[in-house]
Structure 1
Amino acid sequence: VSPVVHVAIEPRAVRNVLLSLGIGSAGGYMFYRWHMPLPWMLGSMIFVSAAALMGAPVRRYMPLRNIMIIVLGILVGSFFTAEVFKQLVAWSGAALIMLGYVAVTTVISLAVFRRIAFMDRTTAYFSSTPGGLGVMVIAGEQAGGDTQQIPIAHATRVFLVVLCVPLYFVFAGDIDPGAVRPVPGSVTGYPDHRETLILLVCGLSGYLIAARIGLAFSQFLAPLILAGFAYALGWVQTPLPAPVITVAQIVIGSAIGTQFRGMRLVRMFRPAIAACIATAIMLVIAAALARITAPWVGIEEQTLLLALAPGGLAEMSLIAISMNADLAFIATMHILRITLISGAGPAFFQYVRKRSR
């Protein structure tokens, strides 16, 4: 029996998944009532992670998470139009800034993990990239790295970025909390049967393409591209309903929180502290670059900061949508960052290892 089937039929696993979603829903609702930024994702993430660290048997169900990733891909794809594709050349300056940002923050974070967490070179390298959680864990394991410390480092990074970026815009950026509340969607309007069928085809085809490609972020990227074409060509014009987007945020936030289950505080202390320091440095550099280079590239400072922030593609896209920022630009920059890290990161490590022998 495959692991997925086992999770689907084992009663205890089902209860644990439902417990996670229940805690996540409660956290999202509490954050919504408290007028917190991006409440459904941040609330579910914080409540589930707290429960996980306290020993609650929370668990994520990967097929459900993957479905929500596909939904988010379709959601982000709905923001791409023909005009967006014409802007790609104009974004070349921002792309160069992104490349430099990835290189500089990786080098600095590598030193942080080596000196504070006392990681070996392999583990430190695959923990230090500003992205690529899934790819870096797999590649790090193949290269002989510590498969417990690498996920801790990346999960901590994603957690802190998703938590801190919206709060930064509220408390330091002088933005009203209402500007970063729920992700907008169609409250009363729903896609008709034809549009629903097209979106289902985009999602299913994207999933099949993602399974074929095998890249860690392709489950998000493939539906994004297909849905982007559907919206750009005018085949679909109705946005996804707000309830669908809310459910997606709860599932994604809860899934992030469950990654802290079973982690002994002593075991995770050093890599987590190092990850906090490295993430803080990444965010400071991103904020400084956004402040300095935004006038040069002709992009708003807030938008450029969201594009540079080293969070997950789906999570940062949700934050961008909630702030009514230029999602097409932000998603494009994050795709560039993750593609660079996923493709060049492991290859560069192998190159350096061979040269050092």
Structure 2
Amino acid sequence: MSSAQFRAVLLTAFFGAVGAAGAWYVGAPAPYLIGPALVVMLAGLAGLKLAVPNRLRDACFVLVGISMGASVTPDIIGAAKRWPFSFFMVLVMVVVLLYVAAWILQHLFRLDRKTALLASSPGHLSFIISLSADSKADVPAIAIIQSVRVMALTLAVPPILSALDMAAPGFTGPQQMMELPVLAVVLLASVALGLLFTRWNFPAALLLGGLAASALPHVSGFISGQVPYWIMNPVYVVIGSLIGTRFSGVSVSAMRTAFIAGAITTVVVTIMAAACAALVSSVIGVPFNAALIAFAPGGLETMAAMAVIMHVDTTYVGSHHVLRLIFLSFLMPWAMSRLQRNGESKS
């Protein structure tokens, strides 16, 4: 690593840490992701050269995959038996929201098909960034549009439920953490699977390796617990900083267009998700506030915490969001591969 590259990495680490601390201090949602993304983005727009080493990026993607897989618990199987119609509608809505939003971005905002598809994913920000990291898609536009969706839903859902008199104060209890020796074994298996998936040319191979190596023993009940927060919080800072580095050299007009595109698509997909939640609520008798949080295409951690705060069924909400993320983990690589094959066949 040259001195210039080392300086870029140090600057990125500094601005990422400042952004995380500032976002945490003001109580912003997902502070360790959004704060670094915002501050590093502004530093890049100011003309500073910033970078995140590829090996550090890849290590973080592995850990994100492990964290995702840790959410696939035996409760998911029980939930699928209790709410089959609701689970089916989650899968339907993921596909519908993805392609409706992609159509809007492609035809109204003239984004290329690959960028429109990645920017339209109803969730999975870290996964989408990993998918787009090595592609020719417009990563800054994807990051802006996805960030607008996450931020808007985080800020909008509580006031909506409060206006409908469906909010109730609560608290978040402690969460079981994975023991370090167990995590080390899962990490080794994740890297091995990730390298195998890389050899098979899977998109986001390292993240998928972490997901598979973690999900299988978790869903079987062989192991339990999440990745410790003291590990995942720095991971989110790195990923947020990675998002921010993608804005270097981006014009203000391009940012404005992407922000407007993100706002419009977020409104559209939120209305559609709310309509689906109302349908599911009326069919299976689940309270509308629980269904709305379960179907809102926001961040898993944020929506799960919101379920606790609003005193709704956390198993119902959490299982739906985990299913959405698992489905997206396979749907997005398939959709991207299909798009690439269609492009090659036309060329």
Give TM-score scaled by structure 1 length: 0.73
Displacement, 1:167? 2.1
Q: Find the counterpart in structure 1 of residue 9 from structure 2.
A: 17
Aligned positions of 1:109-188 closer than 5 A: 109-115=102-108, 117-118=109-110, 122=113, 126=117, 129-130=120-121, 147-148=137-138, 151-174=139-162
Amino acid across the alignment from 1:332: L
SS of 1:55 mapped into structure 2:
coil
The counterpart of 1:98, out of the listed 63, 84, 91, is: 91
CA deviation vs aligned residue, 1:173-217 (integer Å, no higher than 9, x gap): 44799969xx9766xx77254x24323333323422432343334
Match of 1:39 in 2: 31
Q: Is the 8 A contact 1:206 1:222 kept in 2?
A: yes
Deviates more, 1:79-88 or 1:59-68: 79-88
1:56 pairs with one of 45, 48, 51: 48
Distance in 2 separating the partners of 1:281 and 1:100: 13
Deviates further, 295-304 or 199-208: 295-304
Go from structure 1 to structure 2 and tell me whether the alpha carbon gap of 1:36 and 1:221 turns closer, same or farther (over 3 Å shift).
Answer: same
Name the CA distance, whole Å, in 1 between partners of 2:46 and 2:99.
32
State the superposition RMSD in angstroms: 3.9
Aligned to 2:326: 335
Superposed displacement of residue 110, structure 1: 1.8
Amino acid at match of 2:72: F
TM-aligned CA deviation for residue 263 of structure 1: 0.8
1:319 to 2:302 alignment: yes
* Structure 2 partner of 1:245: 232
Residue 225, structure 1, aligned to residue 212, structure 2: yes
**1:49–1:351 Cα change, 3 Å:** closer
Task: Name the CA distance, whole Å, in 1 between partners of 2:291 and 2:207.
Answer: 21
Give the secondary structure class of the aligned counterpart of 1:87. Answer: helix
CA distance in 2, matches of 1:284, 1:59: 38
Is it true that 1:198 corresponds to 2:185 in the alignment?
yes
Q: TM-score, normalised by structure 2?
A: 0.75
Q: Confirm or deny: 8 A CA contact 2:194 2:206 kept in the other structure.
A: yes
SS in 2 for 1:71: helix
Amino acid at match of 1:156: I
1:37 is paired with a residue of what secondary structure? coil
TM-fit CA distance, 1:114: 2.1
Shift of 1:247: 0.8
Give yes or no for contact 2:119–2:146 (8 Å, CA) kept in 1: no
Contact 1:94 1:297 in 2 (8 A): no
Aligned partners of 1:305, 1:67: CA distance in 2, in Å?
34
What are the superposed Cα offsets for residues 285-340 of structure 1, whole Å, 9 maximum, x if unpaired? 223433443453566656655665556xxxx3343455465444312212213533
Aligned counterparts of 2:305 and 2:170: Cα–Cα separation in 1: 9
Which amino acid counterpart does residue 211 of structure 1 have in structure 2?
A: T
Contact preservation (8 Å) 2:208, 2:329: no
Which of 267, 272, 290 does residue 277 from structure 2 map onto?
A: 290
Range that drifts further, 87-96 or 278-287 = 87-96
Q: Could you tell me how far apart the structure 1 residues matched to 2:174 and 2:205 are? A: 24
The answer to whether 1:65 aligns with 2:48 is no
Distance 1:77 1:302, change over 3 A: farther
Mark the CA change 1:185 to 1:254 in structure 2 (over 3 Å): closer, same or farther: farther
Give structure 2 stretches of 5+ with no counterpart: 123-127, 309-313
> Taking structure 1 as reference, are residues 218 and 298 closer, same or farther at Cα in structure 2, changes over 3 Å only?
farther
The structure-2 alpha-carbon separation of the partners of 1:51 and 1:280, relative to structure 1 and needing over 3 Å to count, comes to farther
Aligned to 2:194: 207
Distance (whole Å) between structure 2 residues aligned to residue 107 and residue 234 of structure 1: 37
Gaps of 5+ in 1: 1-8, 142-146
Deviates more, 1:259-268 or 1:105-114: 105-114
Aligned pair count? 329
Q: 1:353 to 1:232 in 2, by over 3 A?
A: closer
Distance 1:164 1:283 in 2: 10
Q: 1:299 to 1:67 in 2, by over 3 A?
A: farther
Structure 1 pair 266–75 and aligned structure 2 pair: CA distance change class (3 A): closer
Q: How many Å apart are 1:25 and its aligned residue?
A: 1.4
Q: Deviation of residue 234 (structure 1)?
A: 5.2
